[in-house]
Structure 1
Amino acid sequence: METSIRLTAEQLGEMQFRYIKLGPNGRWSSRAIEEQVLFLGHKEVPHDLALGRDKQQIATLLQGIGRSAGKANDFAREIVDFYTLGADTVWITFHNGRLWWAIADSEVIWVGEDEERGARKRRLLFPWRDTDLKGEVLIQQQLSSLLTKVSAYRQTICKIANPDYLRCKLAGSDDPDTMRAEQALQALTDAAATLIAKLHEDDFETLVGILLERQGYHRVSRLGGTQKDVDMIVEQPFTGETLFVQVKSSTNQAGFDDYISRFDATPGTSRMILAVHTANGKLTTANRPDVTLWDRTTLAKAAVNAGLAQWLIARAG
């Protein structure tokens, strides 16, 4: 057996990838991970024949025991891949909601018939792990479906359709397309923050009202109505939560503290939100868990997520 190896992100760039289903419906996965091996079935194909790596001979045998020509050729390919792919191949599988990956030693060992494992196995040079090279857990639901759809593959071994994406995930680096999208999103958010600061007071109040409505809150008092101590009272009909909302184009800490005092004096409200796009100095909530500050950055992120970029352009332009 070859010695175990350490792997770098640069070395991943030279690797090829294969998905392997470890047993019917993945039933051998726990044992394979525990024993640090790859398993493959096809017990009807003798080890000596598989060592010959002759796809045609293997396919002929499989057809002789009733496999269709298509299935026989697919199974023969899987067996030959298992016997020939070396230490330049990263094997991946999915188990318990995570992506696992490993690199196998080239030697194939015959282990015979056992329903709890495959008929043959390969020990590992780089052990099964469910984290990237930076230690972040590879959660299946957080990965692109372009990759995770391979777990529905009906047979055992296949190539990965998007190896560059997988390579980035295993290295713990960002996919270039994702990076470009994140940069564009950040640029849009920064632009939205600039536009929010240019809004007329009435438009700013309208924006805050829209954002609250998108979160399921309904107004109990009119926006900018006659209640002198509060700009808006809103209620969440499903939870019954009632919010005290102040909307100010600008304020300072003394003003913020005054609004908190008004909130404390207002019966029937459980939380307070101060929405402000221009702060005169640093604003703090005084460690009040029932007081939330919506500053320009928070509002910009919320507006972009709510699809209000064009609305902002029209109002601030």
Structure 2
Amino acid sequence: MADSPSEPARSINPRAVRYVKLGPGGSWEQDSKRLGILRFGFESADPETLALCRAKDWDELARSWREQGKQSPGTATSFTNQIRAFFEDQGDTLWVTFIDDVLHYGFLEPGEPQRWDRDANYSSYRTLCGGWRTTDATGATLTKTSLPGTITKLSMFRGTSCNVIDAERLVKRINGQRSDEVTRVEQARTSLLEALVPLIQMLHERDFEILIDMGFVNAGWRRLGAVGGNQATKDLDLEAPLTRERAYVQIKCQTTQGELDAYAKDFANKDTYDRLFYVYHTGQIEHSFSEAGVTLFGAGDVARMVLEGGLVDWVIDRVK
């Protein structure tokens, strides 16, 4: 049984990897995605073209492109090679394309191309085994922003189909594999985040408030009120400049579940704020806590804020 496109992919080992553009300006993308097919142009379903493909007379096909289509020898050869790759694929070529800024990939089922009967342009199609897939072996969606430029630049290809130059890297990405270099950096990042937690827990109350203030400002929030002070229910008054979303932050070095519940109840009665960030570094809090509009930031979350905000040295300087 074929995998569902929404499930993590199985490990793949293709003979070749090719990019394909689904129609002029991507006009065939949605039909191809919905039906789980790869639709191909070049009048590949024309009876004369189909007969030459069946006979594997690729030289004659190239000649027909030169004579009938008045194409240059180089262009005629390119057209022929693209049709040949599509026609001769026995299911061991990985085909990839971009639809809605997400990489889609799949393998063709064996068999000849079929004519797309919904128009008169003699385009053809072949069915993909299990349809187009969009996730790697770990279940992560293959968005453009998560892929290297050597892969995303394929979407700028002006032709119909081409070999993927960085094929090995793409296959490893789909298989959920990481290079040794990336693995080392990920491990170092995890170790740094773990090491930051006890340092954050060593911060004095005032330093912790300043750290959280800098973290939110670095994240794009605009501070409207002073840090700390005698305000009963908020230490930071924030606004998101673009959306005008209002939020306030309650900062606690140590806290309890009862204290959190009290602040959450108070927030529910405030009409002028959209969110409450409850930030602490030490305390017994239920991980299952869920209250609309309330976001918990524990020591681990603060560590990520410190790392992503470039505040590691600041924390070290405060506790060394």
Size of the aligned set, in residue pairs, is 307
- 1:216 is displaced (CA, Å) by 1.8
Instruction: Say which of 84, 92, 105 aligns to 2:96.
Output: 92
Q: 1:106 to 1:118 in 2, by over 3 A?
A: farther
Contact 2:234 2:248 survives alignment (8 Å): no
- 1:210 is displaced (CA, Å) by 0.9
User: Which amino acid is the alignment partner of residue 279 of structure 2?
Assistant: A
- Taking the aligned partners of 2:104 and 2:16, their CA distance within structure 1 comes to 15
User: Which amino acid is the alignment partner of residue 199 of structure 2?
Assistant: L
- Taking the aligned partners of 1:271 and 1:39, their CA distance within structure 2 comes to 48
- Taking the aligned partners of 1:264 and 1:85, their CA distance within structure 2 comes to 61
1:191 to 2:195 alignment: yes
- Taking the aligned partners of 2:159 and 2:233, their CA distance within structure 1 comes to 64
1:216 to 2:216 alignment: no
Question: Any unmatched runs of 5+ in structure 2?
Answer: none
More deviation, 88-97/32-41: 32-41
Counterpart residue number, 2:70: 66
- 1:141 is displaced (CA, Å) by 4.0
- 1:61 is displaced (CA, Å) by 3.2
Tell which structure's C-alpha radius of gyration is larger. Answer: 1
Question: Any unmatched runs of 5+ in structure 1?
Answer: none
Q: How big is the alpha-carbon RMSD for the aligned residues of Structure 1 and Structure 2?
A: 4.2
Within-5 A mapping of 1:1-317: 9-10=10-11, 12-33=12-33, 36-43=36-43, 46-53=49-56, 55-64=58-67, 65-109=69-113, 111=115, 115=119, 118-124=122-128, 126-132=129-135, 136=139, 138=141, 140-141=143-144, 143-144=146-147, 145-168=149-172, 170-171=174-175, 173-176=176-179, 179-214=183-218, 215-221=220-226, 223-225=227-229, 227=230, 229=232, 232-236=235-239, 238=241, 239=244, 241=246, 243=248, 245=250, 247-253=251-257, 273-279=277-283, 281-282=284-285, 289=292, 292-317=295-320
Q: 1:39 to 1:116 in 2, by over 3 A?
A: farther
Contact 1:98 1:130 survives alignment (8 Å): no
- Taking the aligned partners of 1:290 and 1:189, their CA distance within structure 2 comes to 26
Per the alignment, in what secondary structure is the counterpart of residue 151 of structure 2? Answer: helix
Per the alignment, in what secondary structure is the counterpart of residue 9 of structure 1? Answer: coil
- 1:197 is displaced (CA, Å) by 1.9
- Taking the aligned partners of 1:262 and 1:203, their CA distance within structure 2 comes to 26
- 1:132 is displaced (CA, Å) by 3.9
Contact 2:245 2:274 survives alignment (8 Å): no
For residues 146-177 of structure 1, what are the alpha-carbon distances to aligned partners after superposition, in whole Å with 9 as ceiling and x for unaligned? 32332322111212233344334544x35446
- Taking the aligned partners of 1:233 and 1:98, their CA distance within structure 2 comes to 38
- Taking the aligned partners of 1:267 and 1:87, their CA distance within structure 2 comes to 59
- % identity of equivalent residues: 23
Per the alignment, in what secondary structure is the counterpart of residue 90 of structure 1? Answer: strand
User: Which amino acid is the alignment partner of residue 299 of structure 1?
Assistant: V
Contact 2:197 2:303 survives alignment (8 Å): yes
User: Which amino acid is the alignment partner of residue 17 of structure 1?
Assistant: V
Contact 1:40 1:118 survives alignment (8 Å): no
Q: Which has the higher contact order (CA 8 A, sep 6+)?
A: 2
TM-score scaled to structure 2, two decimals? 0.73
